[in-house]
Amino acid sequence: MRYLSAFLVNEMLEHCNTQPQNEQCEGASIRGLSFTNKVNEFENEPFNPRLLNRVTGEVLEITPEIKHKFRLSRMQRRVYAWANAMKSIGGLKGGFRYRQVMITLTYAPAVKWSPNQIKDFMSGLKRVLGDKLLAYAWVAEMQERGVPHYHVFCVVKKGTKIPMPDKPYGQRGHVLWPFGMTKIETAKTPYYLVKYTGKEHQKEGFYKGMRIFAVWIAKGLLSELEARIFRVSGLPKWLAREVLMFIEDKGYKHPTPAIGGGWEFMGQVLRSDWEYQEWVNGAWVNASSSMANLQYEGMTDGERRLIDYRELVDFARDLAGM
């Protein structure tokens, strides 16, 4: 039976900030699934958001530098885990079932960046390839001239031809990437994409509201256990450690955000010692308590964003060395 043990995954939680350089980096990894990885869009704040430890009273200011490190940490975890998930698929090891392709998307000098451009490209690519597209991951990289380019790694069925994104294709002459030049090349390993999540490739300067990565795997490509581990990685690390002890149980159910804060899991509500707070109308407001009577489904984007920032509690603490 092919599986990743909870023990090994827990070890990888400690390894999440380490950058693998090649395929010699073995072991289970963690990939996160979050509702957004956009920058904070709260406006007119006199203070930076902060983290408050409910037990010790300690306060940690969330500066722009901390936010940037947090976003990179999230990206590194997810992309590295995505690469590990690809490696766990038997067909990839033999190289006879799937083809691995790297696509690079750049901007022409006169073209301005827009938040939906990469989203529209991926939607178009999925539409063109259909069920031949099995998985993808992409990473944004800021260039010195102040514009991004994208590295897109695709896993497709062997024999699949991908149209050149900056050239017309089909009867209607549709262009998947009309914003600049593109390049397609065969890739040897999913870990090739991981290097673009490192500090040498990731500088500050991302645009407001900009997504810096995405990962996707077709349903049914992973085993049930692998899919569970894949999803658990989206949880804060302190919560993931609790969950991983039960990951192989038949009655396992993924944690869900609890009304009023915390996470519902195995009949109980688990909470971090750290609380994310915003400065609102002259006072510090806890993100979780401000939504005490709201259900997660049906929330506005702003309300969802507050829940997402609970994850920042754990990562900011780790980045601060606590």
Average confidence (pLDDT) over 147-161 = 93
Structure tokens at 110: 């006169």
Nearest CA among 63, 59, 27 for reference residue 229: 27
- Tell me how far apart the alpha carbons of residues 180 and 206 are, in angstroms, rounded to a whole number: 19
Q: How confident is the model at residue 240 (pLDDT cuts 50, 70, 90)?
A: confident
- Tell me how far apart the alpha carbons of residues 233 and 244 are, in angstroms, rounded to a whole number: 10
- Tell me how far apart the alpha carbons of residues 11 and 5 are, in angstroms, rounded to a whole number: 10
Domains recognised in the chain with CATH numbers: 1-32+47-61+237-322 (no CATH), 89-221 (3.40.1310)
Average confidence (pLDDT) over 243-265 = 89
Q: How confident is the model at residue 237 (pLDDT cuts 50, 70, 90)?
A: confident
Tell me the angle at which helices 237-244 and 6-14 cross, rounded to the nearest 10 degrees. Answer: 160
Structure tokens at 244: 């991983």
Looking at residue 216, its pLDDT comes to 95
What would the DSSP string read from start to end of 26-49?
Answer: -S-------S--PPP---S-SS--
Q: How confident is the model at residue 321 (pLDDT cuts 50, 70, 90)?
A: very low
C-alpha dist (Å) from residue 52 to 5, 44, 214: 34, 21, 30
- Tell me how far apart the alpha carbons of residues 189 and 170 are, in angstroms, rounded to a whole number: 30
C-alpha dist (Å) from residue 251 to 224, 239, 255, 265, 270: 13, 18, 12, 11, 18
Residue 223 CB neighbour total at 10 angstroms: 15
Residue 261 CB neighbour total at 10 angstroms: 20
What would the 3-class secondary structure string for 75-125 be? HHHHHHHHHHHHHCCHHHHHCCCEEEEEEEECCCCCCCCCCCHHHHHHHHH
171-195 confidence digits (pLDDT tens): 788 999 999 999 999 998 999 999 8
Average confidence (pLDDT) over 266-292 = 78
Say if CB 80 and CB 20 are below 8 A apart.
yes
Phi, psi of 201 (to 5 degrees): -110, -15
Question: Which residue would you say has higher pLDDT here, 251 or 3?
Answer: 251
- Tell me how far apart the alpha carbons of residues 307 and 262 are, in angstroms, rounded to a whole number: 10
Q: Is 316 helix (H, G, I), strand (E, B) or coil?
A: helix
List CB contacts of 240: < 8 A, sequence separation 6 or more. 10, 13, 30, 232, 233
- Tell me how far apart the alpha carbons of residues 10 and 16 are, in angstroms, rounded to a whole number: 10
User: Taking the complete model, does pTM exceed 0.85, yes or no?
Assistant: no
Supply the DSSP symbol for 196: G
Exposed/middle/buried for residue 152 (C-beta within 10 Å: 0-12, 13-18, 19+): buried
Say if CB 154 and CB 101 are below 8 A apart.
yes
Q: Is the dihedral of CA 13, 48, 72, 155 positive or negative?
A: positive
Q: Is 41's pLDDT higher than 90?
A: no
85-108 confidence digits (pLDDT tens): 888 775 555 555 889 999 999 999
pLDDT averaged over the chain? 76
Looking at residue 179, its pLDDT comes to 96
